[in-house]
Structure 1
Amino acid sequence: MWTKVKNLVWQWRGVWITTPTVTGLIILLRLFGLLQSWEWGVFDLYMRWRPQEPKDDRVVIVSIDDRDIHHLQRSAISDATLAKLLNKLKAQQPRAIGLDIYRDLPVDHGYEDLAKVFTSTPNLVGIQKVVGKSDRDIVAPPPILKERDQVGANDLVIDADNKVRRSFFYLTDNNGKTVFSFSLHLALHYLEKEGIFPNKDWQIGKAQFRPFEAYDGGYVRADAKGYQILINYRGGSRYFESISMTDVLLDKVPKNWGRDRVILIGNVAESSKDFFFTPYSSTLLSLPEPMTGVEIHANLTSQIISAALDNRSLFKSRTEPEEWLWIFFWSFVGATLTWQLRYHSIFALERFVCSIITLGILLGSGYIAFIWGWWLPIVPALIALISSAIGITAFVARSVADIRKIFGRYLNEAVVANLLESPEGLKLGGERRKITILTSDLRGFTATSERLQPEEVVKILNFYLECMADVITQYQGTIDEFMGDGILVLFGAPTQRKDDAERAVACAVAMQLAMEKVNTKMQEWGLLPLAMGIGINTGVVVVGNIGSEKRTKYGIVGNQVNLTYRIEGYTIGGQILISESTLKEVGSIAMVIGQKQVKPQGVKEPITIYQIGGISDPYNLVLPSKKEELKTLPQPISIQYAVLDGKDICDTLFKGSFIKLSCQEAEVCVENISPEELPAELTNIKLNLLSFPLHELADEDVYAKVLTKPTSQGNFYISFTSKPPTVEAKLKSLISEVSHN
């Protein structure tokens, strides 16, 4: 169970790292207020995108515009005119009249008439300005209405982008007295006729009015003084039914036009400068259109009445921890989808469709929630979604870079660039090309590995292959494949050069020289030394990307590949054999120290292979010469051997004896056998030691290769390719005794 969990954690490590990291960064950005203006923008956009609501006939406006003022032939409305207007509206029997005009002082001699109207109209509400930085910013209410508690504050809250999205429900003046907002006063007058009154928790009818807080919605550290609410606008400018003051004064209004309505009187003239920007002001294709103050108060009045009577939504927001979980969720979605589709092309249809659907779900869910009255953090969620996708993409790109770095251990940078950056580099298909092929193999390592623990085998192979890969990369070879302890290297694919064969031979010599480093490490680990054989061939093959769209391998196909393996099969440890075609390509700089004509399986005519001892200028690499001094044994050691046919051991057993011996070679004498039955040169054999002093090791298998060294009739030389440690120790001890006698 724990292993499965660990595997799951590792497999999804990109998601586990990216999701909380991106979420934390987005939350920090949000707390610093860097996303606030964007969140306001989405709020405004959703506000404009909402379906148009039907008009609220319960609230109407009497507007005073420039034509009305011009009709009066004076710059301000006289007290007498205002008194006449109010009396006309009283006759309509409205539930409330809201006078959104400052009247803290008498204007002219008609104030007595206006005072009578103020005194005789209990459902009339005046205004005062409560909030201000100085006394000059505060406007007192009409004294008579103040005494009768018929005054509301018309203060609005303007956000940093100069838009009105919230307003006061009530607030406290400089004297510490609570002042209801102008809109709340009017709404309560209307609801009183419906038998609805607020309780102490501001439950009014069907609605619970909760105060705005500093971090509600997209706000960060907002000034939440007083009791504020977010404005749920019904529409933009000119949404509410409006008639002009002149029409009222001239009795051009139907008799019962204002009955049981809330009538707001407000100045909409350009000269009044009573204009504010709202969420409906911004559009992409037109200049911002402000809204008059009286229209904003009409929206607020309608909002309170509609919420109390019709249960119309009030804007709400989730708690901070809940919003953090929302952001975390979308960060997880972005990371998960990108991680799941990480192996698909960035232009793949699946990625495109999933991206569109995910974005649609996020924006759509935010829009639906907005219609229901919930202000969700869409911008932080969207940024989290996109950032997580980018983060996972970057993580995958980093992984690809790491893969490329690892790939670069086996291929030089030019080869990697050709495969990964060339438009044709990764296409399926191949081409005929003349290249040089190098194969290498550790002699007898398979038998050796059977005596070791798997962990030790892997450790040895990793170190050996790492050393060889460094050399191959240095000589710009392409490692096509690791096959256990075998390596297949290409020179001339995918990038072809004139000196491919020369570099292949130089690389082979350098690889044999690098075995000293490998065997030093083997000695440190208390293991027997390793020996490697290398075969090289040059010929025409088909090279390219082989496989399918899901699984592709860059490789080569052709009989020249098989021939290279045959040549390598003739080698003994420390030996390099090349074909005649390779020698022609390399020329005189190849140091040939021997040659042999062989007839490999699958080849019709015999071929000549050449043993290389080094390569001259410009590489100047030479293998150290190793002369095996065979000691004549005072008493032959009986053996039993069988010839290997490929990987199979022949059933026929032959008897013979060692007459000469060294640590790496031996001369074998076979009696009563015809020359045709002698093992052919370069044949592999398996033998067992039978006579004293090695008879107790008779069960230990020793592997060797028949050499081409000439000897007397009935004899042949062998080179050991694999010896068990016990046999190695016994042979060394025996040779040491012979040397001292």
Structure 2
Amino acid sequence: MKIKDRYVVLIILLLFCVISFFNSLEGLENKFRDTILESENRVDTRVVIVGIDENSLMHLGRWPWSREIHGQLIKRLKEGGAAVIGLDFLISEDIQSTQSTQSHKSIDITKLSVNDTNQDFAFTEVLEDADNVVLPLYGIFPGKTGLGDIKALDVVGPLDIFKKSTRAGHINVIPDTDGIVRKGLLSFEYQGETILSFPWLIYQEYLKNQKRILPDFRVPVDEWNRFYLDFVGGPGEVEHHSYYDILSGSIPKEYFENKIVLVGPYAPGLNDYYPTPLDYQTPMYGVEIHANILLALLGNSFKEEIAAPWLLFILFGFAAGSFFISKRYKPFVSLVIISALILSYFLTAHLVYNQGIILPLVYPTTLAVVIYLIILVYRYLEENIQRRRVTALFGRYVAPQVVEKLLCQGDGPKLGGERRVITVLFIDIRGFTSLAEKNSPEDVVSILNRYLDICTRTILKYDGTLDKFIGDAVMAVFNSPQVLEDHVWRAVQAAWEISCSAQEILKSETAQPDQIIQFGMGIHTGEAIVGNIGAEFRMDYTAIGDTVNTAARLESYAGSGEILLSKASCNEVKERVRTEFYGDLSLKGKARSVPVYKLMGLVRE
């Protein structure tokens, strides 16, 4: 490959660093966190919700209700010893607009009177007497805002008459782009004033009520002053009771002693609900979200994402690990190992999440998978290139099916050669000199190609390797590079078929006397060195050694139409051929004579 895979991996790593910096996969990251990290925990019973539910709407009438009703609820909770009371609904209308929409049903309002015809003034007295009520306000923001620039254009809050008797915190709930609420807004600026969140003010009031000092802990926030919400339970998990049941006395007021009581909408028709990471399908009421924030404050269980240097470290670790594993092991094994590492990482992320640390999930694991796929593609391309090289190397010498088998085996002959038992077949055209004298050069080449084509096709038919043409001679090797259990028998069959083909041409009516040629052949079996022999820039796949020389010597002794076999070759196929002893020949380079046999035919089964 011209471009090294490590360079491509480095580019991908840098790309993921940029993507993670801009949080381009935020939506996918959030989905992974919701699935893997979020889980329900034990709910603190110090927080109780008083819900404006269907039961209360049925008995008290259409929302909104009069100040009298809310005042009576606050009085009962205060008498019961509630530590803090948080009203999670806006009281921003004057009394006339409230009364115009009021319709009471099955409860006598006179019994709920706060003994003052001016309900706003009376409600103010209730707030002053309770001295533990936190009211809400709502910030209105521009459509777009820059990092760190969290300033409201306007706020909708309680009437001025109520502001002197209590504190107000914002109840803004800001879902992510997919509509899921995962973070809370700690505070924002309005006309130079810092507006704290509704739960944060309730928490301060609770500590004040319990005569405790505000702990010195930091709420980790992002660039928009938002903190990650650690939901302790799904919808309905925080203890809740019906607003009407409190007023009617069904639940004793003493039950709320030292508790933080949040009063808010708890009916679908009031349109104050949002999906959360714990349950996309069943929405959570806004008052429940504030309750979860309060529980996080009480338990100091806020979560913080790791710093950028740690993120880069994790990305680099996953990139290096995936690269090493993918290069070191086969694709399936690599996939199993990388999958196991990713699962282990997810488990680790879940464990450290419970300790307040949020690890990135999508960026490192996706990087690992991408690098695995890149290495897989590189392997495929490299194997394809290698396939072409092998095909170019062996395609001229062996049958296409032999090349395919070599490629499928993936473990061809070693570079530089290996020792192997092979059978060597040498074929030489007899009478070629006379043929060249009697025919034109063009005719000689044509005749030679005709006979050599017979040799080539027959050798490849029996899965032999065409080693080389040596003038008018042919050298073939069996059992290399492809392993053949019956390589001797295949070589003998090929030699006999070549001889028969020559005889058929000789007997044909179209054969011209001055163009008739025959073959002399020699076959020997033994050890040889087979492999790529030559220079780095020019090499041939061939066989060298005494086995090759012996086969060549046998061919030189063979007459026209004769096939001579060494004893080593003859012994391997003696049950399948008919032979006659040719004699003990003294071959060049041999200290002892060699017994030689002449092939007379094949024994057909």
Q: Does TM-score exceed 0.5, indicating one fold?
A: yes
Verify the 8 A CA contact 1:579 1:608 in the aligned structure 2: no
Q: Deviations over 1:522-572 (max 9, x none)?
A: xxxxxxxxxxx843479xx779953xxxxxxx79721775999xx9xxxxx
Verify the 8 A CA contact 1:412 1:478 in the aligned structure 2: no
- State the identity %: 17
The structure 2 residue matched to 1:374, chosen from 323, 336, 357, is 357
Q: Structure 1 residue 598: deviation in Å?
A: 8.6
Matched, 1:322 2:310: yes
Q: Deviations over 1:673-717 (max 9, x none)?
A: xxxxxxxxxxxxxxxxxxxxxxxxxxxxxxxxxxxxxxxxxxxxx
Q: Structure 1 residue 74: deviation in Å?
A: 3.9
The structure 2 residue matched to 1:120, chosen from 111, 129, 133, is 129
The structure 2 residue matched to 1:250, chosen from 248, 251, 270, is 248
Matched, 1:37 2:34: no
Verify the 8 A CA contact 1:163 1:279 in the aligned structure 2: yes
What's the secondary structure of 1:161's corresponding residue? coil
Q: Deviations over 1:354-388 (max 9, x none)?
A: 34422321222222222222221211122112111
Q: For 2:193 and 2:120, how far apart are their aligned partners in 1?
A: 28
Q: Deviations over 1:89-109 (max 9, x none)?
A: 111222211011101233345
Matched, 1:491 2:460: yes
Q: For 1:26 and 1:478, how far apart are their aligned partners in 2?
A: 56
What's the secondary structure of 2:474's corresponding residue? strand
Matched, 1:399 2:382: yes
Q: Structure 1 residue 492: deviation in Å?
A: 2.2
Find the counterpart in structure 1 of residue 290 from structure 2: 297
Find the counterpart in structure 2 of residue 306 from structure 1: 299
Distance change in 2, residues 1:276/1:80 (3 Å): same
- AA partner of residue 157 (structure 2): A
What's the secondary structure of 1:90's corresponding residue? helix
Matched, 1:341 2:341: no
Find the counterpart in structure 2 of residue 269 from structure 1: 267
Verify the 8 A CA contact 1:366 1:376 in the aligned structure 2: yes
Q: Structure 1 residue 595: deviation in Å?
A: 7.6
Distance change in 2, residues 1:585/1:279 (3 Å): farther
Report the number of matched residues.
475
Find the counterpart in structure 1 of residue 178 from structure 2: 161
What's the secondary structure of 2:256's corresponding residue? coil
Verify the 8 A CA contact 1:330 1:382 in the aligned structure 2: yes
The structure 2 residue matched to 1:53, chosen from 14, 25, 41, is 41
Find the counterpart in structure 1 of residue 558 from structure 2: 607
Q: For 1:299 and 1:414, how far apart are their aligned partners in 2?
A: 77
Q: What is the 5 A alignment of 1:135-214?
A: 138-148=155-165, 150-173=167-190, 175-194=191-210, 196-198=212-214, 204-205=215-216, 207-213=217-223
Q: For 2:555 and 2:387, how far apart are their aligned partners in 1?
A: 43
What's the secondary structure of 2:241's corresponding residue? strand
- AA partner of residue 460 (structure 2): F
Q: For 1:477 and 1:34, how far apart are their aligned partners in 2?
A: 66
Q: For 1:477 and 1:408, how far apart are their aligned partners in 2?
A: 21
What's the secondary structure of 2:185's corresponding residue? strand
Distance change in 2, residues 1:68/1:341 (3 Å): same
Q: What is the 5 A alignment of 1:418-457?
A: 418=401, 426=409
Q: What is the 5 A alignment of 1:669-684?
A: none
Distance change in 2, residues 1:197/1:542 (3 Å): same
Q: For 2:61 and 2:80, how far apart are their aligned partners in 1?
A: 27
What's the secondary structure of 2:282's corresponding residue? coil
Matched, 1:91 2:21: no
Q: Deviations over 1:275-315 (max 9, x none)?
A: 11111222xxxxx11110000001111111110xxxx3x21
Q: For 1:560 and 1:40, how far apart are their aligned partners in 2?
A: 66
- AA partner of residue 411 (structure 1): F
Unpaired runs of at least 5, structure 1: 1-9, 199-203, 214-223, 283-287, 429-434, 441-470, 480-488, 513-532, 547-553, 568-577, 612-643, 651-741
What's the secondary structure of 1:290's corresponding residue? strand
Q: Structure 1 residue 197: deviation in Å?
A: 4.1
Q: For 1:239 and 1:103, how far apart are their aligned partners in 2?
A: 27
Verify the 8 A CA contact 1:476 1:491 in the aligned structure 2: no
What's the secondary structure of 1:159's corresponding residue? coil
Using the size of structure 2 for normalisation, the TM-score is 0.67
Unpaired runs of at least 5, structure 2: 100-117, 144-151, 412-422, 429-448, 525-549, 563-585, 593-605
Q: For 1:361 and 1:80, how far apart are their aligned partners in 2?
A: 58
Q: For 1:60 and 1:598, how far apart are their aligned partners in 2?
A: 102
Find the counterpart in structure 2 of residue 68 from structure 1: 56
Q: Structure 1 residue 31: deviation in Å?
A: 5.0
Q: For 1:275 and 1:583, how far apart are their aligned partners in 2?
A: 94
Q: Which of the pair has the greater relative contact order for Cα pairs under 8 Å at 6+ separation?
A: 2
Verify the 8 A CA contact 2:136 2:169 in the aligned structure 1: yes
Q: For 2:56 and 2:382, how far apart are their aligned partners in 1?
A: 73
- AA partner of residue 34 (structure 2): D
Distance change in 2, residues 1:55/1:649 (3 Å): same
Q: Deviations over 1:103-128 (max 9, x none)?
A: 12333452232111122232210010
Aligned CA RMSD, in angstroms, stands at 4.6
What's the secondary structure of 2:305's corresponding residue? coil
Matched, 1:77 2:46: no
Distance change in 2, residues 1:229/1:399 (3 Å): same
Matched, 1:26 2:16: yes
Verify the 8 A CA contact 1:167 1:229 in the aligned structure 2: yes
Verify the 8 A CA contact 1:327 1:380 in the aligned structure 2: yes
Find the counterpart in structure 2 of residue 520 from structure 1: none
The structure 2 residue matched to 1:279, chosen from 277, 280, 292, is 277
Find the counterpart in structure 2 of residue 558 from structure 1: 488
Q: For 1:382 and 1:537, how far apart are their aligned partners in 2?
A: 54
Distance change in 2, residues 1:425/1:403 (3 Å): closer
Q: For 2:279 and 2:456, how far apart are their aligned partners in 1?
A: 66
Verify the 8 A CA contact 2:140 2:153 in the aligned structure 1: no
- AA partner of residue 229 (structure 1): F
Distance change in 2, residues 1:179/1:425 (3 Å): closer
Find the counterpart in structure 1 of residue 544 from structure 2: none
Distance change in 2, residues 1:121/1:556 (3 Å): same
Q: For 2:169 and 2:362, how far apart are their aligned partners in 1?
A: 36
- AA partner of residue 26 (structure 1): F
Using the size of structure 1 for normalisation, the TM-score is 0.56
Q: Structure 1 residue 233: deviation in Å?
A: 0.9
- AA partner of residue 156 (structure 1): V
- AA partner of residue 321 (structure 1): P
Distance change in 2, residues 1:366/1:582 (3 Å): farther
Q: For 1:645 and 1:66, how far apart are their aligned partners in 2?
A: 112
Q: Which has the higher helix share?
A: 2
Distance change in 2, residues 1:103/1:604 (3 Å): closer
Verify the 8 A CA contact 2:390 2:407 in the aligned structure 1: no
Q: For 1:476 and 1:233, how far apart are their aligned partners in 2?
A: 83
Verify the 8 A CA contact 2:52 2:242 in the aligned structure 1: yes
What's the secondary structure of 1:608's corresponding residue? coil
Distance change in 2, residues 1:334/1:76 (3 Å): same
- AA partner of residue 294 (structure 1): V
Q: For 1:476 and 1:18, how far apart are their aligned partners in 2?
A: 50
What's the secondary structure of 1:158's corresponding residue? coil
Verify the 8 A CA contact 2:322 2:372 in the aligned structure 1: yes
Verify the 8 A CA contact 1:19 1:328 in the aligned structure 2: no
Which deviates more, 595-604 or 126-135? 595-604
Q: Deviations over 1:31-84 (max 9, x none)?
A: 565421110101111344x3x321211111110112212201344211111110
